Structure 1
């Protein structure tokens, strides 16, 4: 490489360095601001997570304190009713616990009302609302009109709903209640063949089929 080429390269490098320094002086504050925002966002997330953990722990402590309030279920239900949840998910869990204690105290109407506060709250995740609806329907087995219960469980027994198979089981029980034994057997057979059905649910379905005088498969029944 000649001295001329070397000199040109040095000059070019110096010009690049000067331009870089110029850009840093002019726009360096942007990089600084980005760094500050990143650090600030990370700190805020840590603070928010810590606050959420503290709130969840406080809610859990309050619910446990309510359950230890008294040996009487009614007293525990009353204690739980004074607990406040800071989040929609926390409110749903608190409602499930409260409704369970109310049901134990034979306060069925109050338990259903508590569950309805979850199922009718659009701010609560869908799965919680579906569980609340399911529990409320089962609690009203002796009080709610059979057609209303059937309609409620049919709304849950659709593809995409996590409670679909257990809702099908409830519909089979309603078939038995209404005298439609053949329909109940068919539903129980479908549960036996359903890939989403748990082992326990399939065992109950099999026992119900036998108790109703049917056979596990339609082919065996026809023979």
Structure 2
């Protein structure tokens, strides 16, 4: 369960509601697994008051994994991209080790199934160029390793020859599919966010298609 509040006072009120509900229904929260993270607006206050759950102070962290996606205090996506880059490297090495003797067609099927997911890449709107480059290079190297291609062969050429989408094409496809689902959602908040011109994630989605179409 996640609680969101614009202030510490509001968060304390939400936690009080949770405490009363748990007490009335014979439940108990695990305070050791409860954490708090602060998203600052501008500089924000220097001293952050403690927040308690059942009389125990809640641990404050600078990053938190929610539904597999790493959130950070500064709202940057570098750590989540690194998480996915490492996961991609593990999957690639596993495929190369277990299926080294398979046919190229079988390897292509495995590559599409295991190396093109880029979990939550639709949300990577605030990341450095080096972070984005690292996962793109990892994707290219994963294909080279699995297909036993030369280390410095052309990435665009090898994907074109095999009719496999490159990194940018995979991201564009996932962004477009995700954006379409949100715009068709019955949730009014999601629909408004998907079309708000000031939404930074929407700007990222548009930039993904605009910038890559220029290449």
| TM-score, scaled relative to structure 1 | 0.27
Question: Which one has the bigger helix percentage?
Answer: 1
| TM-score, scaled relative to structure 2 | 0.28
Q: Return the structure number with greater relative CO, CA threshold 8 A, min gap 6.
A: 2
Question: Which one has the bigger strand percentage?
Answer: 2
